[in-house]
Amino acid sequence: MTTPQLPPELDKMVRRFQRASDPKRRYEQLLWLAKKLPEMPEAEKIPENKVQGCVSQVYVTAYLDDVGNVHFNGDSDAQLTKGLLAFLIRGTEGLSPIEIVKLAPDFIQDTGLQASLTPSRANGFYNIFKTMKQKALLLAPAEDNFDALDSKSAGAG
């Protein structure tokens, strides 16, 4: 069951993967998404943009548009991982930094992809998402940034 708080595009993508009960069909969807991912300039494939904790080489960049929404770009040397990256980029496209930061990773489980992925790839999927959230947080206006951090630590005392 999909979490109702998901942004519309991410919800649509999760549902699409839920409908594909066959692991082979899920792989085909990931490979299709990988092909649709825009080219990432080689100059952006630098250590600061590398996703840590992935077996594959994965890079992600983020920038804000004129109205303060986040746009990601990325690349991977492995097509399935590139598809996972494309899934996350497409699903979070045009959200505000705080909308991205507040997204819980539960939707990853909802896709059903874990059953089709090796443990290291499934872990990589989470690491890509975590990196995207960190990059979004860095783009958040200072007051939003403080609020997001403050709400995370509210129950920690």
Selected catalytic residue, list 14, 33, 37, 54:
54
Question: What's the first-to-final CA gap in the chain, in angstroms?
Answer: 33
The CA distance from 130 to 135, in Å, is 9
Does residue 23 have an active-site annotation? no
Describe the crossing of helices 23-36 and 79-92 by its angle, rounded to 10 degrees.
Answer: 70
Rounded to 10 degrees, what is the CA torsion of 69, 93, 46, 116?
A: 150
If one counts every other C-beta atom within 10 angstroms of the C-beta of residue 124, the result is 24
Report d(CA 99, CA 22) in Å as an integer.
31
Known catalytic residues are: 54
